[in-house]
Amino acid sequence: MTAQPPAQPTAGSANTAAPVPTLEMVIGGEHVPAADGRVFDVVSPVNGAVIARVPRGGAEDVDRAVVAAQRAFDGEWHSWSQTRRGQTLARFAGLIRDHLEELAATESRNMGKPISSARWEIGAVASVMEYYAGAANKLMGETIPVSKPGFDFARR
């Protein structure tokens, strides 16, 4: 028999009786419940505890989200310059970094993964947003080589 190293603790893995939050979806910038009011429990894979209740979105919710997204695209976002779009993505990346600990703790509880892994993943999300923020005003009609072999194309 070999000794196993202790598992890294996950954020919120201690047995604490915290209230279970009921969350909402964001559609068109508004926090809303599912159209039919249905929710489902998010269960921790670590201990089986319910960690949140979230909307069980249905077809009507998808339709509302598509209409809101089209309205946003046809509205102000559509007329924004590439630079302004990039600045918005950069602000989003900054918000992710500002809330990294909170987001990592949520991801750790939700997935049952070590907090160090969740921190890395959330940091990587911010890095991707920063990349696209920088790329937003660099559209020149060229194909940028990718680092790994694969399908790479330019649409003109």
* Per-residue model confidence as pLDDT tens for the chain (156 residues): 333 333 444 454 445 567 999 999 999 999 999 999 999 999 999 999 999 999 999 999 999 999 999 998 898 888 889 999 999 999 999 999 999 999 999 999 999 999 999 999 999 999 999 999 999 888 766 666 677 777 766 666
Place of tokens 């939050």: 21
> How many CB atoms neighbour CB 24 within 10 A?
13
pLDDT for position 4: 36
Report DSSP state, residue 119.
H
Q: What angle do CA 62, 104, 113 make, to 5 degrees?
A: 95
How far apart are alpha carbons 26 and 65 in whole angstroms?
9
Q: How many helices (H) and strands (E) would you count in the chain?
A: 5, 4
Return the domain boundaries, the chain.
18-78, 80-139
List 31's β-bridge partners, or say none. Answer: 26
Name, in order, each residue with C-beta under 8 angstroms of 97's C-beta and a sequence gap of 6 or more. Answer: 123, 126
Burial of 10 (C-beta count, 10 Å sphere; 0-12/13-18/19+): buried
How many residues comprise the chain? 156
Taking the model in full, what pTM does it have?
0.72
Encode 87-121: b = buried (16+ Cβ within 10 Å), e = exposed. Answer: eebbebbeebbeebeebbbbbbbbeebbbeebbee
How far apart are alpha carbons 109 and 117 in whole angstroms?
12
